[in-house]
């Protein structure tokens, strides 16, 4: 499962050129083209817009700009989808690691590499 698509984001950002804040996707860092941008703060601004403070975890770049409610909502949905993908990848990797650990444990038991003394509490020498 791919989570970060830096190459895809960089190509997209280059295609957009100098469109400025109004024409760029909010989830792509304007500095390093990472697609892992995270919200730091959001508040309503004058004129029916939203002021978003965003941070890129890869390069540390911050942006603090006004955007339309629609753009902010789209960013929020993409952010939530990315977070869900990370959680799914974490769950999948955790299960895979547990299965591998269990396989090694069963193999060690079958090979008589584990005995009762492996489970005894450690006694410190006085």
Average pLDDT in the 66-73 region? 92
Does residue 126 form part of some domain?
A: no
Q: What is the spatial order of strands in the sheet that 62-68 belongs to?
A: 38-45, 49-55, 62-68
User: DSSP code of 35?
Assistant: S
Average pLDDT in the 16-42 region? 77
Task: Give the per-residue pLDDT at 11.
Answer: 52
Domain count, the chain: 1
Does residue 122 form part of some domain?
A: no
pLDDT at position 8 over 80: no
Does residue 119 form part of some domain?
A: no
The confidence band for 115, taking pLDDT boundaries of 50, 70 and 90, is confident
Range of the domain at 72: 6-112
Name the helix (H) or strand (E) containing 16.
Answer: helix 6-16
What's this model's pTM, rounded to 2 decimal places?
Answer: 0.64
Task: Give the per-residue pLDDT at 88.
Answer: 98
Does residue 121 form part of some domain?
A: no
Does residue 41 form part of some domain?
A: yes
């Amino acid at each position: 499962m791919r989570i970060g698509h830096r190459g895809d984001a960089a190509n997209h950002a280059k295609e957009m050129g100098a469109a400025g804040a109004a024409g760029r996707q909010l989830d792509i860092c304007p500095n390093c083209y990472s697609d892992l941008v995270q919200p730091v703060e959001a508040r309503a601004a004058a004129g029916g817009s939203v002021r978003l403070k965003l941070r890129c975890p890869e390069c540390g770049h911050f942006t603090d700009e006004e955007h339309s409610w629609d753009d902010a909502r789209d960013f929020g949905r993409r952010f939530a989808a990315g977070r869900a993908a990370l959680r799914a990848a974490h769950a999948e990797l955790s299960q895979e690691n547990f299965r591998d650990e269990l396989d090694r444990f069963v193999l060690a038991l079958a090979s008589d590499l584990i005995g009762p003394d492996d489970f005894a509490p450690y006694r410190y020498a006085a």
